[in-house]
Chain A
Amino acid sequence: AQSVAQPEDQVNVAEGNPLTVKCTYSVSGNPYLFWYVQYPNRGLQFLLKYITGDNLVKGSYGFEAEFNKSQTSFHLKKPSALVSDSALYFCAVREATGGYNKLIFGAGTRLAVHP
């Protein structure tokens, strides 16, 4: 069965510093990987995804993520954090096989960027 782990409940970063939000996954075959962000009282917004190709993917608002197959990880990164980046971040995985597969989310990591 596929699963996603986000080992940190919360990440605290000073504004201007780089940030990393961690994600590891487990699937039987190859994965499709996604990052979403949720602001208070809002739905989830898509940030970026990895399907195939370049292991470093770039997304919205200056975020990027690196796919590492050997470590089964897909960490979210940003070179310089903004206070407005403070939100709840979710990693998600779907198994890349034929047929219809579930989109499974991690528990979420709360990012707090301090001025």
Chain B
Amino acid sequence: DAGVIQSPRHEVTEMGQEVTLRCKPISGHNSLFWYRQTMMRGLELLIYFNNNVPIDDSGMPEDRFSAKMPNASFSTLKIQPSEPRDSAVYFCASSLGQGGTEAFFGQGTRLTVV
């Protein structure tokens, strides 16, 4: 398996623009997580899905952030409009179920908003 695939790897955009990050989880995994990593705040859980249904989005910072999972093999995280403080590395991870199963991470998308 190719693992969790994220695109793009790097994104540079201007403040106010819409940004869409994409994630393809490992085939067969039914839980998907979006995390954001910054030097100041570390690794923050933004939202997670189980069987394509959002379970907890309490970590989504503002209404400018939205996430969807239209099917088991694809998820998006959208920021609209983007702001410089959104600059971070965004990780997608997937796991088979919950509980004691480990999550597998993608390579991340490094977002820079100028």
Chain A residues in the interface with B (C-beta under 8 A): 32, 34, 36, 42-46, 49, 51-52, 90, 94, 96, 99-108
Contact = CB atoms under 8 A, between A and B. Distances in A.
A31 to B, nearest CB: 10
Contacts of B106: 43
B36 to A, nearest CB: 11
Nearest to A100: B55
A63 B108 CA distance: 25
Contacts of B105: 36, 43-45
A102 B45 contact: yes
Contacts of B42: 105-108
Contact of B56 (A46, A90, A102): A102
Contact of A100 (B50, B104, B107): B50
Q: How large is the interface on B (under 10, 10 to 19, 20 to 34, 35 or more residues)?
A: 20 to 34
B100 interface: yes
Nearest to A33: B100
A34 B102 contact: yes
A32 B100 CA distance: 6
A100 B43 contact: no
A49 B42 CA distance: 21
A88 to B, nearest CB: 10
Contacts of A108: 42-43
